[in-house]
Amino acid sequence: MGWCAAAVYRRLHATEVGKVGKHIAERSDVFPRAAWGARSNISIRGFRPAFEARWNVSGLENYVEGLHRLRTAPSGVFATKLFWRDVLDVANERAPGAFETLRMAAPAEVPLESYKKLFEWIANAVPNATWIFLTRRDAVRQAVSNFVAWKTESWRLSEEEERRTTLEPTYDPDLIRRLLSRVLRSNAHWRRFFEANGLTFSEFAYEDLEQDYSGTLRRVFAAAGCPDAPVPQPRLRKQADAAGGGLFKRFAAEFGATHG
């Protein structure tokens, strides 16, 4: 999964990388419905099929129009989260094949002009957005966490998922390396994307949320222009490291160092 940004705009917007953005947004309810309206996800691969069926619409334009119309709060605030792959999916659906090479491209080799063109194709989906960039400083732990979630098909902690995550998946260092590369690549793409388009963003890390849940959310809300939004109770519990702790130690030892 790529790191993510959230777009909140008055409508509002958040971006996230892989599981972290998802974890922060869902566990903490970082976009509280009472203040900002129902959270949304422009994900082409994720929630879109279910929403299209529910709203009896098809096609990207109708889907985005439905998101704005049906998932915007009475206050006029709309919040969505985007993985880097979502940005590419939206742009490639509107301009087939034009940005497909960016999926595996090294960010440093991508001209800034390409990021500008990419933004042109997604801008109307998140107009005048406030950007919140959700990251995790320890990219190796994030890659291992993504690996465990992927292998156990457990992305959030309920009783059922907790039972599944007590079983440690078979160690696969090559897959963990690929996930780590994706995390680092997506983070770099987001930063280049922001730079190329002159977009101001507020950055928050998973580790900040773990250390100071309420304080971090207050800073998120203030950055999004909703400083008086109430801090909600966590909706989900942290997924334990029982399944990933041993894998992390083994991979970190083989890899040589933790990459932030």
Per-residue pLDDT tens digits for 39-65: 555 665 677 888 899 999 999 899 889
The predicted model gives 77-87 an average pLDDT of 84
Q: Which 8-state DSSP code applies to residue 97?
A: T
**Is 70 exceeded by the pLDDT of residue 236?**
no
Span of 22-31, 124-133, 226-235, 247-256 with lowest mean pLDDT: 22-31
- What is residue 14's three-state secondary structure? strand
Say if residues 217 and 48 touch (Cβ distance below 8 Å).
Answer: no
**Is 80 exceeded by the pLDDT of residue 239?**
no
Higher-pLDDT residue of 3, 155: 155
**Is 50 exceeded by the pLDDT of residue 154?**
yes
pLDDT-above-90 percentage for the chain: 29
pLDDT value for 18: 45
Which H or E run includes 168? none
* pLDDT bucket at 219, cuts 50 / 70 / 90: very high
pLDDT value for 53: 93
- What is residue 17's three-state secondary structure? strand
Rounded Cα distance between 171 and 237, Å, is: 25
